Structure 1
Amino acid sequence: MDEDVLISEDGPVLEFVLNNTGAGNTITTAMFNAMLETMNEQLQTPSARLLRIRANGSVFCLGRERSATGLIETHVEVERLVSFKRLLRKLPLITIAEVHGDAAGFGFGLAILCDYAIVSNSASLYFPEMQFGLPPSAIMTYLAEYIPPRLAFHLVLTGDTISPETAERIGLISACVAPDHVHLRAEAISERILKLDEQAVRDCKSFFQHSLQNNFEQNARLAVETLTIDSLRLQRRDSLTER
């Protein structure tokens, strides 16, 4: 198992702990693969009821690693990113993100995609991708499902930080709490869900996801194409700059 993400299962609770603390818990290829493998297993044969995602260190997650070069590697990297987000939505487990610190780019998107996002009121939330010249197509496949498109466009285009209080008010996250209450609130939600009928919970989640799935799948395919092209453009630009 990749030590940059600690995966454990305790009864009905599966847990991912981001542990790449030296790099702001940036998600690497190995971390993606480890989490994807576990989620695929749970999709085929669910043995847990909850997936809780938290992080060690001072931040939650500051994005994802971009290490691919060339068309094929870049396409594979983008497919992996979109597959992760697609699988997280399809998972029959209820997903809970415990965001104790800053969440940027993929990290912010990861929290939004979870069924519950419990966020510390001291965290900074933002999408910085456009500052590097890379439109975050994968994020745009779903962001406007949660907030008005005009606001979603502004957040992505400018990279402006949104406060947890505002994010809660507009429905982008589930709860904004004091830093030492993030884990406690996640525990309370977990206990409440585990008291409900297991199949009824899965049916409830399935219905909500099905109602969103058609647009998401169509947008996901477009995101793969767009993000691959934009990533290659940046690689070429950087290559010319270095000459």
Structure 2
Amino acid sequence: MSSKRPSDASTPPRVVIDHAADVLTFTLDNPGHGNEVTGAMLDDMLIELRKEATSPGARVLRIRARGNVFCTGRERAGLTLAAIRRESARLIKFKGALRSSPLISVAEVQGDALGFGFGLAIVCDFALVADRASLAFPEMRSGLAPVAILSYLGEYVLPRFAFPLIFFGEPIDPHRAQQIGLISQVCPPARLSAEADALVERILRLDPSAVRRCKSFFLSSQQNSFDQNCGLAVDALTKGSLALLARRK
């Protein structure tokens, strides 16, 4: 199933969701407002992520955007304590669902990614970024401590890099972001889509069950001690080896 539509400033912001074989694609479609992600867009993506978590129909999640920028932040519509708390909870649920999804996620960042947008790229399994893109967490410059980002940034980059990046909110060059481990690959803008296509093809050539086990164990191992991981590895390796033997029969 696939849905396509032209986009202009008069159309309501949305995320275009495409299903094509083993690939699920989210396309941010709010270019008139810097592809800011609204609450409704988060809800739509959360619904799909929850479907895939319980009844997988795809193997790869591709996140991209229309227009000249990837995503310059998220909507902050709440004006009361209850509304702001709901917004915050939805944001955290979405990032958690994306990170823990059994799908291998690929962010295709064709332009600027700021705040939520930069974090969205980081929590994907692979983040491919155009070399002209500006990347930043500017929240502190507006007087807001970005604790949602701080809750996970330390798992991707060392504290000496992470804290100044958040604290001062200054843009970081994509090449520097790759050096410190925040993104996977820097591409010329004209090559970005082709590089993402090639990456998706590489992922799809791998055994689906092995891919899911690999991602699941990788994520859980980051939360455990060395001894815990060793104990879990025995069971995981046994199950994986049995599955491999079964495929060879």
Q: What TM-score results when the alignment is normalised by the length of structure 2?
A: 0.84
Higher relative contact order (CA 8 A, sep 6+): 1
Alignment-derived partner of residue 207 in structure 2: 197
Alignment-derived partner of residue 186 in structure 2: 176
Q: Does 1:19 align with 2:53?
A: no
Question: Quick one: distance in 1 between partners of 2:133 and 2:69?
Answer: 8
Give runs of aligned pairs for residues 72-91 of structure 1, distance below 5 A: 72-91=82-101
Alignment-derived partner of residue 159 in structure 2: 149
Alignment-derived partner of residue 42 in structure 2: 32
Matched residues, percent identical? 51
Secondary structure at 1:15 match in 2: strand
Question: Quick one: distance in 2 between partners of 1:34 and 1:66?
Answer: 17
Q: Does 1:47 align with 2:66?
A: no
- CA deviation after TM superposition for structure 1 residue 212, in Å: 2.9
Question: Quick one: distance in 2 between partners of 1:138 and 1:180?
Answer: 33
Secondary structure at 2:213 match in 1: helix
Question: Quick one: distance in 2 between partners of 1:170 and 1:71?
Answer: 37
Q: Cα deviation per residue 1:120-140 (whole Å; 9 max; x = unaligned)?
A: 000000001111111111100
Give runs of aligned pairs for residues 64-103 of structure 1, distance below 5 A: 64-103=74-113
Question: Whose radius of gyration is greater, 1 or 2?
Answer: 2
Alignment-derived partner of residue 188 in structure 1: 198
Choose the corresponding residue for 1:163, options 165, 170, 173: 173
Q: Is the 8 A contact 2:13 2:38 kept in 1?
A: no
Secondary structure at 2:24 match in 1: strand
Alignment-derived partner of residue 116 in structure 2: 106
Q: What TM-score results when the alignment is normalised by the length of structure 1?
A: 0.86
- CA deviation after TM superposition for structure 1 residue 214, in Å: 6.8
Secondary structure at 2:206 match in 1: coil
The amino acid that maps onto 1:38 is E
The amino acid that maps onto 2:149 is I
Alignment-derived partner of residue 235 in structure 2: none
In structure 2, list runs of 5 or more residues that go unmatched.
4-11, 226-249
Question: Quick one: distance in 1 between partners of 2:224 and 2:92?
Answer: 15
Question: Quick one: distance in 2 between partners of 1:7 and 1:213?
Answer: 31
- CA deviation after TM superposition for structure 1 residue 213, in Å: 4.5
Q: Structure 1 residues 214 and 129, CA, compared in 2 at 3 Å: closer, same or farther? A: farther
Structure with more helix by fraction = 1
Secondary structure at 1:27 match in 2: coil
Question: Quick one: distance in 2 between partners of 1:182 and 1:141?
Answer: 29
Choose the corresponding residue for 1:126, options 130, 136, 153: 136
In structure 1, list runs of 5 or more residues that go unmatched.
216-243
Alignment-derived partner of residue 16 in structure 2: 6
Question: Quick one: distance in 2 between partners of 1:173 and 1:43?
Answer: 24
The amino acid that maps onto 2:45 is M
The amino acid that maps onto 2:114 is A
Alignment-derived partner of residue 243 in structure 2: none
Q: Cα deviation per residue 1:50-95 (whole Å; 9 max; x = unaligned)?
A: 0000000000000000000111111110000000000001100000
- CA deviation after TM superposition for structure 1 residue 3, in Å: 5.5
Secondary structure at 2:222 match in 1: helix
The alignment covers a number of residue pairs equal to 215
Secondary structure at 1:18 match in 2: strand
Runs of 4+ in 1 over 4 A off after TM superposition: none
Q: Is the 8 A contact 2:161 2:180 kept in 1?
A: no
- CA deviation after TM superposition for structure 1 residue 24, in Å: 0.2
Secondary structure at 2:67 match in 1: coil
